[in-house]
Amino acid sequence: MRLSESNREKAKVWAARFAQAEQFQGSTVEFCQKEGLSIHTFRHWKRKLQDLGHKAKPIEPNPFARVSVLTQLQPREERRALPDPKWVAEVLLQLHRGIL
């Protein structure tokens, strides 16, 4: 497959974006949201460049879950909504034993 002059310029731009996405500390979807890109367009160009022989890595889901740290204590009313600590301990124990 041969690219037109305008598509060659676009391919250069997308290759740079893919390099940025590889360095990004979140998922591909999060990268696209941050950069204001459509995930569908991102994947389209990723496939297009791969078909042309560019050495772009396939899109893989991020195996890590996003975690946020609370910097202040929650109000007392919100803390009551948490599950009973004994129940949580029992669930964790059963998970550890392989029961759940």
Averaged pLDDT score across all residues of the chain: 80
Write out the H or E segment, with its range, that includes residue 17. Answer: helix 5-23
Question: Does residue 83 sit in helix, strand or coil?
Answer: coil
| Residue 15 vs residue 82, higher pLDDT | 15
Q: Is 45 exposed, middle or buried (0-12, 13-18, 19+ CB in 10 A)?
A: buried
Q: What percent of the chain has pLDDT over 70?
A: 75
Q: Which two tokens stand for residue 37?
A: 């890109």
pTM of this prediction? 0.48
Instruction: Tell me how long the chain is.
Output: 100
Which structure tokens are listed for 69? 């740290």
